[in-house]
Amino acid sequence: MLLSGCASGYIGAPAFYVAVDGSANATIVKPASATVRESFAAGELQRYIEKISGATLPIASDGQAVQGNRILIGGPERNSQTAPLMSESEFDVSVPGPEGMMLKTLDSRTLLLAGSSKNPDEFERGTIYAVYEFLERYLGCSFAAIGKPGVDMGEYVPKIETINLGTVDYTKSAADALYRGVHLGYSNYDNTRVSPSHALNPAYFDWLMKKSFQPRVPLGRHLRRFQVKRHGR
Arch. (CATH architecture) of 2-172: 2-Layer Sandwich (3.30)
Q: How far is CA 224 from CA 4, 144, 187, 218, 219, in A?
A: 45, 24, 11, 5, 5
The stretch 110-137 carries a mean pLDDT of: 91
Q: Is the pTM of this model over 0.95?
A: no
pLDDT band at 130 (very low <50, low <70, confident <90, very high): very high
Residue with the larger pLDDT of the pair 187 and 148: 148
Query: 43 burial class (0-12, 13-18, 19+ CB within 10 angstroms)?
Result: middle
Weakest-pLDDT range from 125-139, 156-170, 192-206: 192-206
Percent of the chain past pLDDT 70, that is, above it, reads 71
Q: Which of 212, 231, 214, 134 is nearest to 173 (CA)?
A: 231
Rounded Cα distance between 23 and 55, Å, is 5
The domain segmentation of the chain, as residue ranges, is 2-172, 180-228
In this prediction, residue 94 carries a pLDDT of 95
Rounded Cα distance between 224 and 58, Å, is 38
Residue with the larger pLDDT of the pair 179 and 36: 36
